[in-house]
Structure 1
């Protein structure tokens, strides 16, 4: 890595955001210092664009890689710059195979500013928010989606995600960023790493120019991309064990402003 990074990339939940979903004044001040030095922040998150409005208000703009790499969002104008969705024919095969293998699997989809879920699917967040509605599985898989969500109420997270990955194979990309048994399914080959690589190339940057912060399995591909070229892949203190295993560095927990603390060490 160069003496200083040229791009700061951070996951949101469990990383840049505190447990109450706030961005501390200390973290914001550190990010502003780097911004003044010409080093921008890019967000890389499993969140869909519809969950980015509050973050945009706090940060004031920028760029976000949403839906685990499927959507590139201009936060300033709040417009989608690029999208790599899962196509209907793939959705139909995946949902049929998963339902056959594990009948108690329930589905939801993210597309645009809309969220649809089966009647039996239990949303954990914003279930009464605008754009959230109940739909049949047939309706949900009839058009391309940024992300397919599969949830199970009885199996453990790791057991269920492993099962989904086994069933899906190479027809799509499976990851998770949840403490629950929920698998996040994107188009084949789409990860936070592919979104980041695309964005970095547009800016003339290489992995060595990047410091990346994360805490969950959906950050692993980006960690591997960053460290493969000599960048810094920084795990939060209480990150998932698989993330800690591929990190180049570990910082304090999100509630202790770990992102800001690590960035401060790179100022010299």
Structure 2
């Protein structure tokens, strides 16, 4: 595969394309620009909701983003939602009820549109006072479809909690994690970064064999599997979660070492 070149570059954001200070380096932007000039675009695949994409849009200037772990397809150029695959109220009620029963001390939040709602005891780690962020009761949060349900536990270890959530949810929804703490991200059944990526690639007449995908956390594993099994390149950052490293075809430098740019440059040499 030494002469292999992608037709589509896909990257996670936090811990991957973004440095630890949440910037995209000039080195990375220049390398992405060279590929863009050759007709190879960048697509973002992130757990972030659309409301967290404004700064990225300003730095990149546009493009396409798969947000909320595959639940939202966003046109960054127009900043318009193109499609959504939400978690429905009936499933929200079933999932939250089962989790509250199995793991007392689990608290919930939801993402929908440009809004974020969380229970009073839920402790957000970011943008607590940002526009669109508000406290709500669980009952208030379950009355409409949501892009992502977040379940947090302040006492249990991350991996143990995420495993507990996955067992409780079963096949009713999709569970993943992209955080260093006990935060489970829950999407509609069969909605992952892989399903979002497959839709974006198919719309361009491409398949997994045409994709190079960069990631670092468990919410990237489904996309890694889709790309790897289809003959593309699934590239883990050097600091990636063990599950991501195990699913990768390649490993590159860390995000703070511009690993995405370094790997892309190696494909050009």
Report the TM range for the smaller structure's normalisation: over 0.9
The gaps in structure 1 that reach 5 residues or longer are: none
Measured against aligned partners, the alpha-carbon deviations of 1:111-132 in whole angstroms (never above 9, x if no partner) come to 0000000000000000000000
TM-score by length of 1: 0.99
Q: Given the alignment of the two structures, is residue 237 of structure 1 paired with residue 238 of structure 2, yes or no?
A: yes
Q: CA RMSD in A?
A: 0.7
Measured against aligned partners, the alpha-carbon deviations of 1:111-162 in whole angstroms (never above 9, x if no partner) come to 0000000000000000000000000000001100000000000001000000
**By how many angstroms is 1:3 displaced?**
2.5
2:109 aligned counterpart, secondary structure:
strand
Partner Cα distance (1:142, 1:83) in 2: 17
Q: Given the alignment of the two structures, is residue 36 of structure 1 paired with residue 23 of structure 2, yes or no?
A: no
Partner Cα distance (1:101, 1:149) in 2: 16
Measured against aligned partners, the alpha-carbon deviations of 1:220-253 in whole angstroms (never above 9, x if no partner) come to 0000000111100000000000000010000000
Between the two proteins, the alignment pairs up a number of residues equal to 268
Q: Given the alignment of the two structures, is residue 199 of structure 1 paired with residue 200 of structure 2, yes or no?
A: yes
The gaps in structure 2 that reach 5 residues or longer are: none
Partner Cα distance (2:224, 2:170) in 1: 22
2:261 aligned counterpart, secondary structure:
helix
Partner Cα distance (1:190, 1:141) in 2: 19
Q: What is the aligned partner in structure 1 of residue 81 from structure 2?
A: 80
**By how many angstroms is 1:40 displaced?**
0.1
Partner Cα distance (2:235, 2:98) in 1: 36
User: For residues 128-139 of structure 1, what are the structure 2 equivalents within 5 Å?
Assistant: 128-139=129-140
Partner Cα distance (1:27, 1:226) in 2: 22
User: For residues 23-62 of structure 1, what are the structure 2 equivalents within 5 Å?
Assistant: 23-62=24-63
Partner Cα distance (1:192, 1:23) in 2: 21
User: For residues 210-221 of structure 1, what are the structure 2 equivalents within 5 Å?
Assistant: 210-221=211-222
Measured against aligned partners, the alpha-carbon deviations of 1:161-209 in whole angstroms (never above 9, x if no partner) come to 0000000000000000000100000000000000000110010001010
User: For residues 119-134 of structure 1, what are the structure 2 equivalents within 5 Å?
Assistant: 119-134=120-135
Partner Cα distance (1:35, 1:199) in 2: 17
User: For residues 1-268 of structure 1, what are the structure 2 equivalents within 5 Å?
Assistant: 3-268=4-269
**By how many angstroms is 1:103 displaced?**
1.2
TM-score by length of 2: 0.99
Measured against aligned partners, the alpha-carbon deviations of 1:24-58 in whole angstroms (never above 9, x if no partner) come to 00000000010000000000000000000000000
Q: Give every structure 1 segment of 4 or more consecutive aligned residues whose post-TM-superposition deviation is greater than 3 Å.
A: none
Partner Cα distance (2:129, 2:196) in 1: 30
